[in-house]
Amino acid sequence: MDATVKPLRIPPEMAIYAEKHEVFDLLQSLVRNLVVDKPEDPIQYLIGMLKKGSVEVPRVILLGPPAAGKRTVTRAVCERTQAIRVTVNHILKEDPDFSGQAQQCQDRGEKIPSDLWIRMVRSRLSRIDCVRRGWVLEGIPRTREEALSLQEAGIAPDHVVILDAPDDVLIERSLGKRIDPETGDVYHVAFMRPESVEVLKRLEPPKELVTEELVAKQLHQYRREAHGLLRTYGPHLCCINTDQPHLDVCAQVLSYVLMRHRSSAPHTPRILLFGPPGSGKSLQAGLLAHKYNIMDICSGKLIKAVYADESSMGELLKPYLESGEEVPDSIVLQILVARLSRLDCTTRGWVVHGFPRDVEQAEKLQESNHTPSRVFFLDMTDDVAAERLSLRAVDPVTGERYHSLYRPAPSAEVKARLVFDPRDSESRVRARLREYWEQVSMLQAFYPDAIHINADQDPHTVFQSIESRLVGRLPKTLTDAKESQSE
């Protein structure tokens, strides 16, 4: 369509649907896999990918020196994400097509050829369980050469985790390692003792002889290859110090694995700001609108603007505003929806504050297909909010705002002419705060993914907290991961 002849109107429902179902990310992932794998029949290949549901599943490489806790962390991650744990032993034992050749090399004491090893890894990861549920490669690749060969074969992880600790800690862990013969779980006599007395009694030392010299040699060999691995996986790499409780290590790794990399898909910000009176909603909305060129929409100002333009809707508002009555929700929603449906809002995005004030209004807003992509609650105590509002005043000559504590008048002359808004009296502010807290718990339940920000900080610090959660993608929750794998 020629935009110069007839402007292209994009219904807001299109962008909301595309972002809700991550259509652009889906297309990006399909094209990336298509270019990497280069199938003879691209259409059937894409259909197969969509049927397998393999577009967004965990693809993780977890590396580290001996005794860094790779096995423990990998099992924890796989248990929480339902991904398939893949180790060197698994590949050698579970692949009948190649195990004979690989076993012959091992029997002769030779290294498995790189091309054979890469084919074995790729064959294992192409099985239906890894395709549908994702995978975690534990200790693979071992060298930069292997890493580059995996990339050439199209095996590209979304996340790479390297566990590490000082050599003296790793040596101590290796010497104190104990194994449960029934489950294969690894424990340590000091750092990671089992809670069950029965498990503790049946623990055994590793079958292979472990000495300090042997561990030091293994660490030296690992460190010699680690630098090349770091260079290979730089953009997707996360290094975690494992010289801390293993539960903390597992939590950090899981948090990183569930983190989603920034997407190049188009994104139209649709932001709702909630907060008690005095929390700075108007200020933060103005900062967001200025930096990201989105529309700042305050429901109160919007109603006054519609009333002032003397349109038919303004005439409808007239009796309510002149009598001081509250404007019905149906009229407010009609005005807000009309504003959000304009071209500037649908193409540039918006930040709304002052609406909705309760769950009924939130439900009506959602029914209108104007769904927010981010919801923020600016949290603040009543005492701080009352202090912010009840002590502020305006200079009627210059229009400047002042505050008795935060921004006092520059001179006695200015101070003498300051005007205080009667609505900012402490009694009326406390009443507005009570109204807010009566509704906030239900609004928080209606928006369970909302982000809470401490508003009792410098305004620019608050803005940075909002901005950091606005530009990045929301992390994938464990519930989302399990639902996508069960479909």
How do beta strands 451-454 and 374-379 pair?
Answer: parallel
Query: Taking a C-beta distance cutoff of 8 angstroms, is the pair 215, 63 a contact?
Result: no
Residue-level pLDDT at 213: 86
The most confident of the ranges 202-216, 241-255, 262-276, 431-445 is 431-445
CA-nearest of 182, 178, 190, 116 to 153 is: 116
What structural domains and CATH numbers belong to the chain? Answer: 57-258 (3.40.50.300), 270-471 (3.40.50.300)
- Count Cβ neighbours within 10 Å for each residue of 371-395 and write b for 16 or more, e otherwise: bbbbbbbbebebeebbbbbbbbbeb
Tens of pLDDT, residue by residue over 172-203, are 888 877 777 777 777 776 667 777 777 777 77
- Give me the residue label for tokens 């300051």: 418
Mean pLDDT of 143-162: 87
Tens of pLDDT, residue by residue over 323-347, are 878 888 888 899 998 899 888 888 8
Query: In the predicted model, is pLDDT for residue 96 greater than 80?
Result: no
First-residue to last-residue Cα distance in the chain: 38
pTM of the model: 0.64
Mean pLDDT of the chain: 83
